């Protein structure tokens, strides 16, 4: 099992869950493997904290954070990992097989970062917009005839893999996958929190609009691509602040230029 201080750096995020029983099942799975940090984004049912399926895990539900958006839920996280199947989607970020997830998450936790493991709603999974906030996509291998999993089961499978592969028994043949750090990171420094990247994305977008680079019809697509780009580059917090200062200065100068008729 991961050490307690490592588990405390890993958050389980449920996006728009519809059934309180599934939220309770997810909380129970977290308690089974010693995880306690849960965030619920825009839940469909208002009384989800009362789910009876959270057997042995009422504290996890009561302490869970509730946010209106995924961006709020992962604002303090330096590594955001989306979950799902590739059956119906073409990924726009790096894809990691579930067995290879543990060493990546442990590496981020060990260098002081915070990790979010994000699960989509039962009805549609994670949307393209949700995934634009993710650094990685982890694929849960399933049969092509039934690619989707129950939400609680998906959480349990991922946490089992993470727990069993973080510190495998000495007599097993498993060797952790050596994963290089994301672009812009070193082995000791975590990436910038997602909230910092979102702030940078907003300022860059404002500069693009002020420079007439981004016409209204292209703004949603440009915003999506920019969000993915920043997570692919994965700058650390100091570099993110430097780039933010640069674009704020550019934006200020652009606003001083009179608009042409």
Average pLDDT over residues 231-253: 94
**Residue 133 in domain:** yes
Same domain, 159 and 235: no
Average pLDDT over residues 251-258: 88
Average pLDDT over residues 13-36: 94
For residue range 155-165, list pLDDT tens digits in order. Answer: 999 999 988 87
In the chain, how many domains are there? 2
Range of the domain at 248: 194-256
Same domain, 211 and 137: no
Whether the per-residue pLDDT at 192 is higher than 80: the answer is yes
Same domain, 49 and 125: yes
Same domain, 11 and 99: yes
Average pLDDT over residues 121-136: 91
Question: Contact, 207 vs 162, CB < 8 A?
Answer: no
Same domain, 243 and 156: no
Least confident window among 68-77, 94-103, 140-149, 210-219: 140-149
Same domain, 147 and 209: no
Same domain, 9 and 95: yes
Dump the DSSP string for the chain. ---HHHHTTEEEEEES---HHHHHHHHHHHHHTT---EEEES-SSTTGGG-TT-TT-HHHHHH-EEESSHHHHTTT-SEEEEEE-STT---SSEEEEGGGHHHHHHHHHHTT--EEEEE-BTTTBS-HHHHTT-SEEEE----TTS----HHHHHHHHHHHHHHHHS--TTS-------PPPTT--SSS-B--HHHHHHHHHHHHHHHHHTT-S-GGGHHHHHHHHHHHHHHH--BHHHHHHHHHHHHHHHHHHHHSPPP-
**Residue 179 in domain:** no
Q: Which pLDDT score, from 0 to 100, does residue 55 have? A: 85
For residue range 68-94, list pLDDT tens digits in order. Answer: 999 999 999 999 999 987 777 788 889
**Residue 180 in domain:** no
For residue range 213-234, list pLDDT tens digits in order. Answer: 878 888 999 999 999 999 999 9
pTM of the predicted protein model: 0.85
Least confident window among 17-21, 78-82, 138-142, 165-169: 165-169
Higher pLDDT, 159 or 186: 159
Q: Which pLDDT score, from 0 to 100, does residue 179 have? A: 53
Same domain, 79 and 200: no
Percent of the chain with pLDDT over 90: 56
Whether the per-residue pLDDT at 254 is higher than 60: the answer is yes
Whether the per-residue pLDDT at 11 is higher than 80: the answer is yes
């Amino acid at each position: 099992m991961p050490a307690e201080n490592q588990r405390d750096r890993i958050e389980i995020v449920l996006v728009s869950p519809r059934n309180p029983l599934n939220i309770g099942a997810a909380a129970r799975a977290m308690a089974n493997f010693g995880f306690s940090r849960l965030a619920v984004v825009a839940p469909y049912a208002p009384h989800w904290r009362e789910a009876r399926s959270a057997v042995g895990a009422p504290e996890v539900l009561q302490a869970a954070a509730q946010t209106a958006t995924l961006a709020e839920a992962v604002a303090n996280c330096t590594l955001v990992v989306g979950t799902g199947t590739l059956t119906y989607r073409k990924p726009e970020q790096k894809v990691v097989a579930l067995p290879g997830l543990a060493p990546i998450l442990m590496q981020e936790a060990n260098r002081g970062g915070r990790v979010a493991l994000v699960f989509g709603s039962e009805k549609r999974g994670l949307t393209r917009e949700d995934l634009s906030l993710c650094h990685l996509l982890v694929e849960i291998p399933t049969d092509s005839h039934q690619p989707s999993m129950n939400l609680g089961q998906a959480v349990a499978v991922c946490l089992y893999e993470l727990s069993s592969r973080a510190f495998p028994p000495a007599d097993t043949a498993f060797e952790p996958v050596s994963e290089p750090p994301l672009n812009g990171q070193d082995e000791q420094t975590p990436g910038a929190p997602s909230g910092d990247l979102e702030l940078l994305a907003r300022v860059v977008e404002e500069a693009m609009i002020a420079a007439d680079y981004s016409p209204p019809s292209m703004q949603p697509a440009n915003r999506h691509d920019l969000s993915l780009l920043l997570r692919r580059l994965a700058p650390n917090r100091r570099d993110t602040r430097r780039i933010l200062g640069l674009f704020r200065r550019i934006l200020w100068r652009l606003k001083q230029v009179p608009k042409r008729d």
